[in-house]
Amino acid sequence: MTMPAELLENIVEGALLAAGEPVSLDRLMALFQIDDAVEKGQVREALAALEARYASTGLMLKEVASGWRIQVREQLAPWVSRLWDERPARYTRALLETLALIAYQQPLTRGDIEHVRGVAVSSNIIKTLLERDWIRILGHRDVPGRPALYGTTRTFLDYFNLKSLDALPPLAEIRDLEQLSKSLGLPLEGLEAEAPVESVPLEAVLGIEDPGAFERDTVAAAPASEHPNDSEHNEGAPSA
């Protein structure tokens, strides 16, 4: 006997709310036994129905790298964020430059990043990105010293509401670090001590036009805090 569509939709909705993290289609399928006679196509239909139902509410169904999750709409963040007393972590331009390089040109070694930026990469920046599980070591370059090769993780994609690296903002649409930080939802700090953000095009950060534009000292990265840990790397390079 086929499970009623309304019941199936409610089960999927309840599972997504209870999980507190993205849930893959396979994990959703594992909720059902053979006697339930539920197929993947029906679960996909239930997800589509939930997406339509939330269209006019403060919630939304979002597919990210690890699966689907129910979350508050970004437009409501200024109000909903007041539920928590602590302020969100703020990040330096040096950290954002490093993260952008890894995201768009992975895999990279620390030396590669330093060559493009023209300054040493603070150990605190790499530590912060590793502890947040936004980057991971993909391997080691076969040269003397065998430096680590860094790439982004599935957690990076989930955190920034990305299904894959192809969902990163195209470089043609991102002209400076301020735009990139807004696109990824990363507040920046320490800007007053450096050149205005508008004068630093992202193409320069990525070594496309003028790598020497970043021959300057940078401030240390903010301390890391705990985030869900899932280090599976999403293969493939983003579209430029």
**Where are the alpha helices (H) located in 31-153, listed in sequence order?**
40-53, 77-80, 93-105, 110-117, 123-131
Q: Cβ atoms within 10 A of the Cβ of 187, count?
A: 12
Does one domain contain both 116 and 201? yes
> How many domains does one find in the chain?
2
Does one domain contain both 103 and 190? yes
229 band by pLDDT with thresholds 50, 70 and 90: very low
Average pLDDT over residues 76-86: 85
Does one domain contain both 99 and 72? no
Q: Identify the burial level of 101 via C-beta atoms within 10 angstroms of its C-beta, where 0-12 means exposed, 13-18 middle and 19 or more buried.
A: buried
Is 28 among the domain residues?
A: yes
* CATH number of the domain to which 183 belongs: 1.10.10.10
Alpha-carbon span 205 to 58, nearest angstrom: 36
Backbone conformation region of residue 215, classed left if phi is above 0, alpha if psi is from -120 to 50, else beta: beta
Alpha-carbon span 238 to 220, nearest angstrom: 28
Is 39 among the domain residues?
A: yes
Is 226 among the domain residues?
A: no
Alpha-carbon span 197 to 202, nearest angstrom: 10
Does one domain contain both 162 and 63? no
pLDDT, residue 240, reads 35
Q: Which residue range(s) make up the domain with 46?
A: 5-77
Does one domain contain both 155 and 56? no
The alpha carbon of residue 205 and the mean position of all alpha carbons in its chain are separated, in whole angstroms, by 19
Q: Is the pLDDT of residue 5 over 80?
A: yes
Q: Is the pLDDT of residue 52 over 50?
A: yes
pLDDT, residue 167, reads 87
Q: Which residues pair with 103 in a beta bridge?
A: none
Does one domain contain both 161 and 201? yes
Alpha-carbon span 116 to 3, nearest angstrom: 57
Name the helix (H) or strand (E) containing 210: none
Per residue in 140-171, pLDDT (tens digit) is: 999 999 999 999 999 999 988 899 988 887 76
